[in-house]
Amino acid sequence: MTRILAIHGVNQYDPARTPEAAASRLGAVWHQALNRELPVPVDAVDMRLVYYADLLRPTGPAAQSAADDLNHLSPQAADAARRWGELHGLDLDQAQGRVLTPVRWVADAVAHRKGLDSKLVRRFVASYFPELVGYLHPPRARRCNSGWRTPSPRSLPRF
C-alpha cells in the first residue's frame, strides 16, 4: 500500500478546534484535493498528517490580538518582517531608520509595490512571521521538533 506523510505549511492554525480535530479537518481537505490529482484513489492510500500549528503559536498579547494586528508582533517577528520588506526593495534606512520603521508600513509598502490588497498582506505578515520565529527560535522550535503528533514510527512511510 502506498503511504503519504502530509506536513502542512504556515497559517494552518485553527483556534476553533483541538489539535486532533484540526489535523483531521486539514487531512480531509488534502484527501479531497489528492483524490482529484492522483492516478489511484486516495482511499487506497495510507495518508497521515503531521499537525503542529498549535505549537508555533505565540503566547501573550499577540496570541490574543486580531488576525491582522501588527502592533503585538514580537521583536524577532517584526525584525523578520522588516527584512522581508527589504527583500522586496524597501529602503528602511531612511527617515525613521530600520528598527523604528513600523511593520504596518512595511506590509502596506510591499502590498503597494506588488499590487496586492494591503489588508490581506497585513494578515499574512501578522500570521506568517510569528510562525516563522516559532520554526527558527527556541523554545517553540524545540516543541515542534519533539512534539509533532505523528503516527507511530512503524507506520511511517518508507522513502
Q: What is the pLDDT of residues 25-81, one digit of tens each?
A: 988 888 888 877 777 776 777 777 888 888 777 655 444 444 557 888 889 999 999
pTM: 0.65
How high is the pLDDT of residue 59? 59
The pLDDT-based confidence of 135 (bands split at 50, 70, 90) is: confident
Q: What is the per-residue pLDDT for 113?
A: 95
- Render 75-103 in DSSP notation, one character per residue: HHHHHHHHHHHHHTT--TTSTT-TTTS-H
Q: Is pLDDT larger for residue 68 or for residue 19?
A: 19
Distance CA 145, CA 158 (A): 20
CB 45 within 8 A of CB 2: yes
Percent pLDDT > 90 in the chain is: 23
| Residue entry with cell 498579547 | 61
Give the pLDDT mean for 89-99.
77
**What cell was used for 110?**
510591499
